[in-house]
Amino acid sequence: MSNKITPATSTQGFFQPKPTILNQWAEDRAIQRMAKLLLSESTLAARDAELTQFADDVLSKEVFKNIVDAERHPPYVRGDGFTAFGAPQDADALVTSAGWRYLQDFGLREGIVATGSAASLGPEARIVQALKVHLFAPSSSMVVCPSGMQDGAVYVLQKELARNKTQPPTDCPPELHAARKKVMETALAHLLNRDPSKAWTSGQWMTERKGGSDVRGTETIANYVGPAPKEMGTDVDGNPLGPWSITGFKFFSSATDCGCCLSLAYTENGISCFFSPTRRRLADGSIVMNGIRIQRLKNKLGTHALPTAELEINGMRGWLIGEEGKGVKVIATVLNNSRFHNSGESQQSTALC
């Protein structure tokens, strides 16, 4: 042999160079062109430093460490949901990893949802939000999934509050109108809060065993039963629970660790949409689930860190959103908003493949 070959070892020989992930906001020409096309020069100049820092932060060792933790330690439900004395499932029965909680808190602090409603950005708020979703998605362990539904709930509640200024709700007596308005305003404040200790995500609970994505197969029923009795307590903020009682089974419910949910249920007038807090506060100060029991978590091929569950709902108290019998039209806002988020996330995933 003309050339002498040195045998490779575990430490010598050919090694493929490690890939270096660069700051995408600074390095990606496509995202820069899009930003220059859709944002005004003043907004782009004002947000450039923020987006540069954000693109660095999502690549930090701390974020990567928590991605690994979230993927290695999937969520689970403590116990079988009942104590030896038949007590209902604890409000904290769902256990998520420290990594998942860190990434969720990171997204809340960075305003992944709140940015989309920032008054200071005006009509450009959604563009800046889309850029942040685009940059965060690959580092999120799918925290951006509940973020999309949280964002959708924001728009549903904003539309409902605006509608009620000219069309007072007809599903409850006038003496409940002020309480209903306060419930929705308080929920909206939680959904837009950047403080993780106060912020909520939101669930979108539609899918059932019979119908799947065809909601005509819904087997969840809502009955108007009037104001909740005192022994049921209040929501966690001390506001009244809704006058509708909802019972059924949801087969694929993402954002199981959410603070509130939008769900579909049949009433006498057809499929309707309801807003419910996921927890309630009893007179002794203890927090319990609002008629919700986690049957089991889904064992999925992907999105392992994301808690997706089968939920048994028994007497969950809620408030009607929109017109009775037109629930699909109402919750379509959440669906369309989720598509907005998914488009940003999938484009980013494709870019990194």
Q: What is the mean pLDDT of each run of 10 residues along the chain (353 residues)?
A: 80 90 93 93 96 97 97 87 59 92 97 95 94 94 93 96 92 91 97 97 91 82 95 96 97 92 96 97 95 92 91 97 94 88 66 36
Q: Token pair of 163, please?
A: 């509608």
Contact 146, 258 (CB under 8 A): yes
Q: What is the DSSP letter of 113?
A: T
Gap between the Cα atoms of 88 and 289, Å rounded: 8
**Which pLDDT does position 85 carry in this prediction?**
57
Dihedral sign computed on CA atoms, order 96, 100, 102, 104? negative
Half-sphere exposure of 140 (CA within 13 A, CB side): 28
Specify the amino acid at residue 123. Answer: P
**Which pLDDT does position 210 carry in this prediction?**
84
Gap between the Cα atoms of 226 and 352, Å rounded: 52
Angle at 27 between CA 24 and CA 33, to 5 degrees: 95
Q: pTM for the whole thing?
A: 0.90
Helix (H, G, I), strand (E, B) or coil at 115: helix
Inter-helix orientation angle 327-352/125-136, to 10°: 50
CATH number at residue 300: 2.40.110.20
Residue with tokens 């690959």: 138
Asked if residue 275 is part of any domain, the answer here is: yes
Asked if residue 331 is part of any domain, the answer here is: yes
Gap between the Cα atoms of 336 and 330, Å rounded: 11
Asked if residue 49 is part of any domain, the answer here is: no
Considering only CA atoms, which of 221, 198, 298 is closest in space to residue 254? 298
Contact 128, 115 (CB under 8 A): yes
Q: Token pair of 272, please?
A: 């309707």
Asked if residue 12 is part of any domain, the answer here is: no
Asked if residue 43 is part of any domain, the answer here is: no
Expressed as residue numbers, the domain containing 344 is: 72-352
Helix (H, G, I), strand (E, B) or coil at 205: strand
Number of domains in the chain: 1
Alpha carbon separation from 263 to 84, 106, 167, 252 (Å, rounded):
31, 27, 22, 12
Asked if residue 164 is part of any domain, the answer here is: yes
Q: Token pair of 337, please?
A: 């908003």
Q: Token pair of 97, please?
A: 């990893």
**Which pLDDT does position 171 carry in this prediction?**
84
Residue with tokens 């087969």: 251
Helix (H, G, I), strand (E, B) or coil at 334: helix
Asked if residue 7 is part of any domain, the answer here is: no
On the 0-12 / 13-18 / 19+ scale of CB atoms within 10 A, 76 is middle
Taking the C-alpha atoms of 186, 189, 194 and 196 in order, what is their torsion angle to the nearest 10 degrees? Answer: 20
Contact 152, 160 (CB under 8 A): no
Half-sphere exposure of 312 (CA within 13 A, CB side): 8
